[in-house]
A and B are shown apart, each in its own frame.
Chain A
Amino acid sequence: MSKLAFVQKNKIPPSPAPISEVGIIGWLKQNLFSSWFNTLLTLLSIYFIFIILKDFIPWAWGGHWDTKSLRECLDLNPDVACFSVLTARWKQLLFGLYPAEEYWRPTVTFILLIFSIIPILFPKYFRFFWFSIIYPGLAIWLLWGGSIWGVGIVYIGFFLGVLLFVLLLRNITKNMVIAGISSILFVILFFIFFSNYFVNILNIIIPISLPPVESLKMGGFTLSLIVGITGIVASFPIGILLALGRQSNLPIIKMICVGFIEFIRGVPLITLLFVASVLLNYFLPPGTNFDIVLRVIIMVTLFSAAYMAEVIRGGLAGLPLGQHEASASLGLTYWQSQRLVIMPQALKISIPGIVNTFIGLFKDTTLVSIISLRDPVGLASTIRADQTWNGIYWELYVAIGLMFFVVCFGMSQYSQYLERKLKTDK
């Protein structure tokens, strides 16, 4: 054994990383100043941020909130924002022409809306799902007013229909189709012949009603939310059906679905809205005239359903064929395999696309201002045409933009949360 051999007996503790590589300095060096080009980019960005903030902060910070007109603002200090327009008109921006003494109704509807979507968004609270089912009727009644039984009878009718269906299956027949058809027939008969009678009786026994508000009074952000949320809720199932129809091997159904989807996707929403406001009277029996907000909702729903169908079709196409075959070999019927095997996976793949469609739909609600409904963008033009606020633009548009941004950005953040949550392949 050589004497020159050297063996380190005790462990040398690791020395700390150089100060230039860790902590804030290390982070700065790595992310902002890693090369001369990066340094240049960083400096440019800082300069850019600086020139924007230099003008923006004094402008927004010193803004006037309580003047009577734009003139007054300009006389005080022309270089700062004139947020007084928001102070003066915020009610209009939120509620449109809704009668002032009834503002509590849209407000309560908003608050209940939050409670009704929580069970859908977060499975933890799914036991409150019954509220989400009641909510649409409640919201319609709160917003449009009238007797509660006008909406309530719809629920009663469907409840009776379901009851009949269950009873038939339990006691009389095992055939789902016969039970289904007979209960649907019952519901239709109920609505045609008995519902008016029932409503009249209920109105006498328990008279609950609110002063009615007509659709043209709806406006502002309330209108955007009404159109947007109804559209979102309704377009999702229609989109799924259209996507399934397009994928199906029944040629006639497939042709109808493809034709519908391609037609709707081929024309701008604005032409469809014009059809709703101008042409729809041509297509309906002479003398029919139904609510303009409802027409708009139908058009917006059909429009985004077509886009939704394409997104979901993408998800369906992304599934390997083996999934269909495996579920068929387990003996599942078409609808069972769709419900239990195909759709959960396909929908999961297409979450980003679905939420994008939702966001697009919500943004598209501003288009109703072009057929002269009073959504926030339409109201902005009205306010700007007013003598008192003529010439204002930044303050108003920034406020409206922010309202939309919050809702849309919230939706996209939720979709990312959902994606992370449903991710099964780590």
Chain B
Amino acid sequence: MKASAPPKTESFKLSMLLSDTRYRGTSLQVITFIIFVAVFFWLVDNTLKNLALLGKDVSFNFLFLRAGYDINQRLIPYTSDSTHGRAAFVGILNTLLVAFVGCFFATILGLFVGILRLSKNWLVAKLMSIYIEGFRNVPVLLWIVMIFALLTEFTPAPKAFKGADPQATMLLFDSIAVTNRGTYFPAPIFGEGSFWLLLSFILSVLIVIFIKQYANKQKKETGKSLPTFWISILIIILPTLGLYFLIGKPISLEYPYLKGFNFKDGIHLRNSFLALTLALALYTSAFIAEIVRAGILAISKGQTEAAASLGLRPNKIMNLIILPQALRIIVPPLISNYLNLTKNSSLAIAVGYMDVRGTLGGITLNQTGRELESMLLLMGFYLCVSLLISSVINYYNRSFQIVVR
């Protein structure tokens, strides 16, 4: 048999760089890379030229200079004599505060609405879908300014609380005052001995965790479940409550009271903070509700039926079969909604809440004229938060994903 002639080896032609699949990928990448680098250097070159024209340099020294402006809401001590760096830090803490409080309430509300949306009750389900569509289809900025306008214009001025027959009264046994300058809550005062109280509380929580673990172990070994719920509640409440009276009521509440034309003492939450947190929580809760609903609906009905045929009761089916599976679907988008809420908190500027955009990216930027540096730091901060949160999502996905073999 005649051996077939070896295929003719083609000589390399320049046009093959574009037409031959063996080289096309590489040449495409080289071209892209060259364009990318060129554009990058063009931008940097422009920036340097512009800075030179304006007589500016790139330096972060302004962070250590005196800020010279006040921030009316702060979690750490700050005066107008503090540095710009500290102002930025105050802003970061304010952003995180809004993010935490907002996420907390958004989750609770979202869970509640999402579950009610699935209710067999037609009226309730419809009401909840109106809630969800209403909040999802209107811009969050509009909600923020609307709630802010409501809080400042609809509520009474502090002086309305004055006199023997005041126009406005405080809520909840004279403890909470809603005014157009913000809402005043009672503040807890930690007296002598509150440390022991805290210690006993932590101890009882530890004991409860231990009991839970023991009960779980028993259940795995013998199949019997021990009643732990009421015991845990008793263990958490009783010793701490007993100690509270034994030591002589170390923790007391400091009620806000009217002095002159304003309220004194207590915790003062400004309207800007309230409006921002409330609007973000309501807006995000609508998205969370949809996530929760989708998560629960995604668990096939067969799971419920199989669990029921094993003889599990409805609440056990929910706790042991549906929720663990639904959570796997719910948690990643839930966390990315937390991220959205954090990023949306930069809308604080619309109501004058001093978050990191307001301090570092607002007043500091305008006072020092360091646009480039301030924006870089600001974006760096948000990028860090977002990378942190997405690594949490990735970690969760890796540890809880169904293992396919």
Listed in ascending order, the chain A residues whose CB lies under 8 Å from chain B are 31-32, 34, 38, 41-42, 45-46, 48-49, 175, 177, 249-253, 256, 262-263, 265-271, 274-275, 278-279, 281-286, 359, 363-367, 369-370, 377, 380-381, 384, 391, 393, 397, 400-401, 404-405, 408-409, 412
Sampled A-B contacts (21; CB under 8 Å): A31-B120, A31-B121, A38-B120, A45-B123, A48-B127, A252-B29, A256-B32, A265-B386, A269-B343, A270-B349, A270-B357, A274-B361, A278-B365, A281-B50, A285-B49, A367-B347, A369-B141, A377-B141, A393-B150, A397-B149, A412-B137
CB atoms of A266 and B375 under 8 A apart:
no
Which A residues touch B372, using CB under 8 A? Answer: 279, 282
Cβ of B29 and Cβ of A253 under 8 Å apart? yes
- CB–CB A381/B145 < 8 A: yes
Chain B residues with CB below 8 A from A359, complex form: 136-137
Is B387 an interface residue, CB under 8 A from the partner?
Answer: yes
Looking at the assembled complex, report how far the CB atom of A81 sits from the nearest CB atom of chain B, in whole angstroms: 14
Which residues of B does A touch, CB under 8 Å? Answer: 18-19, 25, 28-29, 32-33, 36, 43, 46-47, 49-51, 53, 119-124, 127, 133-134, 136-142, 145-146, 149-150, 153, 343-344, 346-347, 349-350, 357, 361, 365, 371-372, 375, 378-379, 382-383, 385-387
Which residue of the partner chain A has the closest CB to B56? Answer: A282
Known: A38-B121, A271-B357, A404-B137. 14 other contacts (CB 8 A): A31-B122, A32-B122, A41-B124, A42-B121, A45-B123, A45-B124, A46-B123, A263-B383, A267-B383, A271-B378, A363-B137, A363-B138, A369-B350, A405-B134
CB <8 Å contact, B46 and A397: no
- In the complex, the answer to whether A370 meets B350 with C-beta atoms within 8 Å is yes
B371 & A278 in contact (Cβ 8 Å cutoff): yes
Question: A271 CA to B347 CA in the complex, in Å?
Answer: 10
Residues of chain A lying within 8 A (CB to CB) of residue B122: 31-32
Residues A363 and B140 in contact, CB atoms below 8 Å apart:
yes
A256 to B39, CA, bound (A): 13
Contact B29 A266 (CB under 8 A): no
Minimum CB–CB distance from B213 to chain A (whole Å) comes to 34
Residue pair A266, B387 in contact (C-beta under 8 Å): yes
Task: Note all chain B residues with C-beta closer than 8 A to A279.
Answer: 371-372, 375
Chain B residues with CB under 8 Å of A38's CB are 120-121
B138 touches A401 (CB 8 A): yes
Which residues of B sit under 8 angstroms from A363, Cβ to Cβ? 137-140
CB-CB nearest 9 A-B residue pairs = A266-B386, A408-B137, A31-B122, A393-B149, A363-B139, A268-B343, A266-B383, A366-B139, A268-B346
Which A residue's beta carbon lies closest to that of B379? A267
> Quick check: A250 and B379 within 8 Å, CB to CB?
no
Residues in chain A near residue B121, CB distance under 8 A: 31-32, 34, 38, 41-42, 45
Distance between Cα atoms of A296 and B108 in the complex (Å): 36
Instruction: Please tell me if the beta carbons of A285 and B46 are within 8 angstroms of each other in the complex.
Output: yes
Contacts of B43 in A (CB 8 A): 283
Verify A252–B32 contact, CB threshold 8 A.
yes
Provide the residues of chain A in CB contact with B136, threshold 8 Å. Answer: 359, 408
* Residue among A41, A266, A384 facing the most chain B CB atoms (10 A cut-off): A266
Interface centre among B28, B50, B121, B346 (most CB of A within 10 A): B121
Give the docked Cα–Cα distance between A269 and B383 (Å): 12
Cβ–Cβ < 8 Å partners of A41 in chain B: 119, 121, 123-124
Q: Identify the closest chain B residue to A38 (Cβ).
A: B121
Cβ B29 vs Cβ A177 within 8 A: no
Q: Are A283 and B357 within 8 A (Cβ)? A: no
